[in-house]
């Protein structure tokens, strides 16, 4: 054997050992019921909001606030303080800059928890808020939350009227998560509770003097614009709020209540995500439900279930990612080809129990479609999502359950559901079809940057990969439309935008995987451009990294290399037909060199996206599952080209 072949063979053997260690680590994390479930963590705003919720649940008596959960409030206070940056602010992603909303929330929560505004940490935070524009610069949801307690003028917050419920199917033109948040919040907003705070408590010191707090008309837009229209409408709504027709408002509140309560059934809370669960607690209280009512007890239980309070620390998770974690881990292990089938059987059997078999919000636009699909959490049956469904199908295609007929029938239903959830532009979104009324982004309370759920390249790519894995042919019309959508949405530099992962590396890897699965030649110009882009942004250490700031700049922003993003880039290059370049080899070497002795990897940066520019996530299994998938794909490519691995 020539020296060069010996080197190649040795490197492949090293990769094989790294794969075995990585797969072994994942195997050790599997729950006895068959699933994988890691923490899903975010920024300090969840702990800050928790203190606000506790203020709601235990309003001060005679100006004294002493809730029975005082120990939890104290732990939340310490957890928030631990995340303060040297400049006094708080960020929304690891190693990111101070952000005004997170800093305002933290300051308010710390003050409510008993920290004096003269404390050095508070003085620094207050100074940072002023530098960032003051309380006037906060987004709508911060202002609305503060207005509930009389800490921000109600007249200068956007109206969230329950009369939205009279719009019928039009409310489903908002994204699923916006509906889940806004409808419970509309009840709270309509009832204008003005909950008391401790005597003399204000956050007026956060206002920048001389700056108006009201909703301003933007100077850079013409008078005849959607934003002007909605601001005029907001003024009309405020007049309505001062002079409502009582029976109309009551009917609207009851319709919102009914909608909200229906979505607590077979779900770990409305939407199974933190913000609506918080507002449901408030809404039920205002609607007069006693503290021992089953709805109230369940709402508070589901909310507090998101709390981690043990040896890992004190923090809230925004939701549970168990189906998602399981789909990715099972797929990665299935692709490795080195794990016992019994491991995958347990995972498949568990996933089959989570298939949705009842209609949810998605059925408004697809009323005749048979229910199927998977959600993200342990239970969220009104909201199966397209991304989870595609990922679970990839896992099911690589594993065999204990009941083949049941699995086959389930996969057939899910494939049909996916095909029918394709939007008109050929792509796929997260939860809904054709959820793209752009003018709704100008609604005053839409500044969470996620009012809509349009199609995106990352989900479209994953769906194409899943359809191929389930036997849908390349020439199938839906597949060709999906391919056309990806080609059409490619960025000028050759990358693709990633809506649900940070950012262009994520979108590009999934677009390339989807195009490869759909039969696109790796000699096509769009494939070659994407591969060249990935090689051009590789870090000097051989890995890849991208900052959440990419969303702010609308272009790739480099960051320190991470295992998950390096794995994505390697997977993207392999899908582009590149398995021999120095870029691929250096990427694999980075993953080998950074692997821990136990087979896992460390990762501190946020690589998941909730709401771009607003809320980011750390998926704590990404750093383990995706490198295993990358090693598997690399070794498969080398094997296909005559280099065996053992």
Helix boundaries (H) for 61-118? 70-81, 100-112
| DSSP-assigned letters across all residues of 206-240 | GSPTT---S-PPPTTS-SSSHHHHHHHHHHHHHHH
Question: Are the C-beta atoms of 267 and 382 separated by less than 8 Å?
Answer: yes
Which strands sit side by side in the sheet containing 608-611, from one edge to the other?
Answer: 40-41, 615-619, 608-611
Question: Are the C-beta atoms of 372 and 356 separated by less than 8 Å?
Answer: yes
b vs e for 266-305, b when ≥16 Cβ sit within 10 Å of the residue's Cβ?
Answer: ebbbbbbbbbbbbbbbbbbbbbebeeeeeebeebbebbbe
Among residues 538, 560, 570, 548, the alpha carbon closest in space to that of 634 is found at 570
Give the Cα separation of 614 and 118 in Å (integer): 29
| DSSP-assigned letters across all residues of 480-519 | HHHHHHHHHH--TTS----SSBSSHHHHHHHHHHHHHHTT
Give the Cα separation of 336 and 494 in Å (integer): 29
Give the Cα separation of 284 and 501 in Å (integer): 34
Question: Are the C-beta atoms of 379 and 267 separated by less than 8 Å?
Answer: yes
**Coil, strand, or helix at residue 374?**
strand
Helix (H) or strand (E) holding 146: helix 140-148
Give the Cα separation of 530 and 515 in Å (integer): 11
Q: Look at the alpha carbons of 38, 40, 46, 47 in this order and tell me if their dihedral is positive or negative.
A: positive
Catalytic residue among 43, 49, 361, 387: 387
Residue 460 φ then ψ, to 5°: -60, -45
Give the Cα separation of 499 and 453 in Å (integer): 10
Give the Cα separation of 58 and 69 in Å (integer): 9
**Catalytic residue list contains 325:** no
Question: Are the C-beta atoms of 363 and 371 separated by less than 8 Å?
Answer: yes
Residues forming the active site: 387
């Amino acid at each position: 054997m020539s020296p060069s072949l010996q080197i190649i063979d040795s490197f492949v053997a090293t990769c094989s050992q790294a794969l075995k260690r990585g797969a072994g680590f994942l195997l050790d994390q599997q729950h006895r019921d068959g699933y994988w479930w890691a923490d899903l963590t975010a920024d300090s705003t969840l702990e800050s909001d928790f203190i606000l919720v506790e203020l709601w649940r235990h309003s001060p008596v005679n100006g004294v606030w002493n809730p029975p959960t005082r120990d939890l409030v104290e732990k939340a206070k310490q957890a928030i303080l631990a995340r303060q940056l040297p400049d006094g602010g708080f960020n929304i992603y690891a190693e990111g800059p101070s952000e005004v909303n997170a800093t305002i929330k933290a300051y308010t929560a710390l003050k409510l928890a008993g920290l004096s505004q003269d404390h050095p940490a508070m003085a620094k935070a207050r100074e940072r808020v002023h530098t960032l524009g003051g309380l006037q610069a906060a987004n709508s949801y911060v202002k609305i939350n503060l207005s509930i307690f009389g800490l921000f003028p109600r007249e200068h917050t956007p109206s969230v009227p329950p009369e939205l419920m009279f719009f019928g199917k039009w409310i489903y033109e908002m994204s699923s998560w916006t509906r889940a948040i806004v409808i419970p919040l509309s009840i709270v907003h309509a009832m204008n509770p003005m909950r008391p705070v401790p005597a003399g408590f204000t956050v007026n010191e956060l206002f920048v003097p001389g700056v108006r707090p009201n909703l301003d008309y933007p100077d850079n837009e013409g008078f005849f614009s959607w934003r002007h229209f909605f601001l005029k409408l907001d003024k009309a709504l405020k007049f309505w709020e001062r002079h409502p027709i009582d029976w109309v408002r009551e009917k609207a509140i009851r319709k919102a209540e009914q909608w909200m309560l229906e979505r607590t059934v077979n779900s770990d809370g409305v939407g199974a995500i933190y913000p609506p669960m918080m507002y449901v607690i408030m809404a039920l209280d205002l609607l007069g439900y006693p503290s021992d009512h089953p709805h109230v007890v369940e709402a508070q239980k589901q909310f507090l279930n998101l709390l981690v309070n043990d040896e890992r620390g004190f923090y809230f998770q925004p939701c549970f990612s168990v189906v998602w974690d399981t789909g990715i881990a099972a797929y990665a292990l299935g692709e490795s080809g080195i794990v016992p089938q019994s491991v995958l059987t347990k995972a498949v059997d568990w996933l089959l129990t989570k298939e949705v078999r009842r209609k949810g919000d998605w059925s408004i636009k697809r009323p005749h479609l048979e229910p199927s699909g998977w959600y993200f959490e342990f239970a969220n049956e009104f909201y199966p999502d397209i991304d989870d469904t595609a990922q679970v199908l990839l896992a099911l295609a690589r594993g065999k359950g204990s009941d083949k007929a049941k699995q086959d029938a389930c996969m057939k239903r899910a494939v049909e559901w996916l095909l029918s959830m394709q939007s008109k532009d050929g792509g796929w979104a997260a939860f809904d079809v054709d959820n793209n009324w752009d003018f709704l982004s100008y609604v005053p309370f839409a500044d969470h940057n996620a009012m809509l759920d349009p199609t995106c390249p990352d989900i479209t790519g994953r769906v194409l990969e899943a359809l191929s894995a389930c036997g849908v042919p390349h020439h199938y019309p839906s597949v060709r439309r999906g391919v056309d959508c990806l080609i059409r949405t490619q960025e000028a530099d050759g990358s693709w935008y990633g809506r649900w992962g940070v950012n262009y590396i994520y979108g590009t890897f999934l677009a390339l995987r989807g195009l490869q699965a759909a039969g696109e030649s790796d000699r096509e110009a769009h494939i070659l451009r994407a591969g060249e882009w990935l090689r051009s942004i590789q870090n000097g250490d051989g890995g890849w990294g991208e900052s959440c700031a990419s969303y702010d700049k609308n272009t790739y922003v480099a960051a320190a290399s991470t295992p998950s993003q390096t794995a994505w880039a390697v997977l993207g290059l392999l899908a582009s037909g590149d398995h021999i370049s120095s870029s691929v080899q250096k990427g694999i070497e980075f993953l080998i060199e950074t692997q821990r002795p136990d087979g896992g990897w460390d990762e501190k940066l946020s690589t998941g996206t909730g709401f771009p520019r607003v809320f980011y996530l750390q998926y704590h299994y990404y750093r383990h599952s995706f490198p295993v998938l990358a090693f598997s794909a690399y070794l498969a490519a080398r094997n296909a080209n005559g280099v065996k691995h053992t």
